[in-house]
Amino acid sequence: MAFLDNPLRTGLRMGRTPEPCTMVIFGASGDLTRRKLVPALYNLARERRLPAGFSVVGFARRDWTDESFRELLCEAINTNSRSGPVDPELWASFAQGIYYHWGNFDDADAYRRLVERLAAIDRERGTGGNRVFYLATPPEAYPTIIAQLGTHGLARSSGWTRIIIEKPFGHDLTSAQALNAEVLSVFNEDQVYRIDHYLGKETVQNILIFRFANAIFEPIWHRSHIDHVQITVAETIGVEDRGGYYDTSGALRDMIQNHLMQLLCLVAMEPPSVYDADAVRDEKVKVLRAIRPIALHDTVRGQYGPGSANGRPVRGYREEKGVSPTSQTETYVALKLFIDNWRWAGVPFYLRSGKRLPRRVSEIAIQFKAAPTMIFADTPLNDLEPNVLAMKIQPDEGISLKFSSKVPGQPQIRPVTMDFRYGASFGVTSPEAYERLLLDCMLGDGTLFTRRDEVEASWTLLTPILRAWAEGPPLPFPNYEAGSWGPVEADEFIARDGRSWRRL
C-alpha cells in the first residue's frame, strides 16, 4: 500500500535553499558558537538546507589552525547537537568548508587578511561574494567590529552582505540608539538582523498561525472577552558562569526587554495585511508604542537567596561567581502593563520572569472573562473557574484550553483541559531556534528579527523603570528563596487586582 507524505510532518520543513554564501562568525571560540551556532549549521546541512559551497570562517584570537578548529567544532556537535553524534561522511564534506581566521577584533591587519580570504573562498567554493557576518562576541566588541568591517569595505560586496547581531542590543535606550547609529553608518537596515532566538522557536511562530490561520479565535481576542493575560518565562537555573555579565544586566534587561516583549507583541498585535517582514514588524511596533508608560508601583523586583534546585542545595545570587556580595541586581521581575488601543483598553497584561524558580516553563495564558450570568448560582454547581487558553512555549510545547465540565454522576463542576501537544501531533522534534533563524537570514527574510524601531520602542518603555530603580533606595535583597516562585510581594501585587498567578 502506498502512503502519501503527511504535509504536516514534512511540509513545514520544506522551502527554499539559500544562495551559496560564507558565514563569518566573530567570537568563534565562544560558548554560543560551540553550543548553538555550529550544531545548528550542521543540522541544516543534515537536512540539506544549506547551499552548495556553504562555508564558515571562524574569527577569534586563539592560536588555532583550520584543522584544530574543525576538530573542536566536531566535538561541539557531538556534545550539543539535537541529532546526536556527527555522521562521519556528512562531517567530512561539511568540514571542508570550515576555516579558522586568527585575529584580534581591533587588528586592522586581520581584516585585510579576511578580505583576501573571503575572495579566495568565493573563487574556490563559488560563494559569489555573499556573506553573513555573525557577531557572537561580547557586546562591547560590536562597535569595533562594525567599524572595521566598514573601513575594509566588507559591508558591501559583489553579492549580498548581512550582519547578525546578538542580544543584548544595548543596555538602555541611549546605548541602543548609539549602537543603531553605529550599525547604520556602515550597513543599511535591510542588511541588519538583530537576533532574539525566542522568535525562532516553533511554538512562538505558531502564535501567529494560531491567531491568524484560524477564524474562531480572532472574534474573541479582545477586551470584551479577555479578562487578562499572563506571560511567564521561568528558569530553574541560576546565573551559572555568567555572573559577571548578569550582575550588570538583570532580569528586566536580560529577559523582559527582548523575549517577553516579543511574546507580548505577537499575542497583542493586529493581523498584518500580508505575512512579510515589514508588515509583521509594523504591527509589533504599533503594540509597543501603544503601551502606557509602566508605573513603578506596577513592578516587583526580586533576587534569589540560598535554597534548592532539583533537590540539591544551591547558593544565593550574591554568592555566585562574579556577583557583588551587595548586588542590587534583580533576578526576578513581575510587572503589569496596559495597551491603550481599541482591542486591549483596560486589559492588564502581567509579565513575570525569574531565575531559580521551581520549574523551567514559558507560557502565555489568556484568561477569559467569567460567564455573564450564573444560571447555576445557589446550586452545588456554582463554583465556576474562568476559561483559560494557555500557549506553552517550553518545555511541553502545545496549546491547552481549560473549560468547565460536569462531574459524571455528581452535582459538581470541575475544570478540564483540551490539550494539543506538538510532539504527539507531529511526531518530529522541533528544529532549534537558531536553525530557523540562520536559514532565514541566509534567505534574506527578516520577519523573525527585530527592527531598529522595535528595539528602540521596547527600550523607551523600560528605560524609565531601570532609571527609577537605580535612583530608589536599595531593596532588602535577597527576597526569595531559590526554588520558590519568587518574592511574596509578587503574589500580593497581583492579589490586589483580585487575581493570582497561574500555578505552573
Ligand X SMILES: NC(=O)c1ccc[n+]([C@@H]2O[C@H](COP(=O)([O-])OP(=O)(O)OC[C@H]3O[C@@H](n4cnc5c(N)ncnc54)[C@H](OP(=O)(O)O)[C@@H]3O)[C@@H](O)[C@H]2O)c1
Residue 261, number of CB atoms within 10 A of its CB: 28
- Residue 396 Cβ, how far from ligand X at the closest point, in Å? 22
Q: Give CA–CA dist 447/265, Å, rounded.
A: 13
Residue at shortest CB range from ligand X:
30
**Beta partners for 352?**
232, 334
- Residue 222 Cβ, how far from ligand X at the closest point, in Å? 34
Residue number with CB closer to ligand X (245 or 376):
245
- Residue 103 Cβ, how far from ligand X at the closest point, in Å? 7
Residue 330: strand, helix, or coil: coil
What are φ and ψ of residue 197, in 5° steps?
Answer: -60, -15
Contact (CB, 8 A) for 391 and 364: yes
Which residues of the shown chain bind ligand X in the complex (CB under 6 A)? 27-32, 35-36, 60-62, 104-105, 136-139, 141, 166-168
CA dihedral (447, 449, 453, 458) in degrees, to 10, reads 120
**Beta partners for 307?**
314
- Residue 307 Cβ, how far from ligand X at the closest point, in Å? 24
- Residue 321 Cβ, how far from ligand X at the closest point, in Å? 14
Contact (CB, 8 A) for 162 and 156: no
Alpha helices in 248-346 (DSSP H): 251, 261-268, 277-290
Residue number with CB closer to ligand X (141 or 504):
141
The three grid cell numbers given for residue 475, joined into one nine-digit string: 531593596
Catalytic residue (choose from 101, 225, 259, 297)? 259
- Residue 165 Cβ, how far from ligand X at the closest point, in Å? 9
Residue 36, number of CB atoms within 10 A of its CB: 20
Q: Give CA–CA dist 484/489, Å, rounded.
A: 13
Q: Give CA–CA dist 450/23, Å, rounded.
A: 20
Contact (CB, 8 A) for 241 and 321: yes
Residue number with CB closer to ligand X (210 or 245):
245
Q: Give CA–CA dist 457/336, Å, rounded.
A: 17
Annotated active-site residue 259? The verdict is yes
Catalytic residues: 259
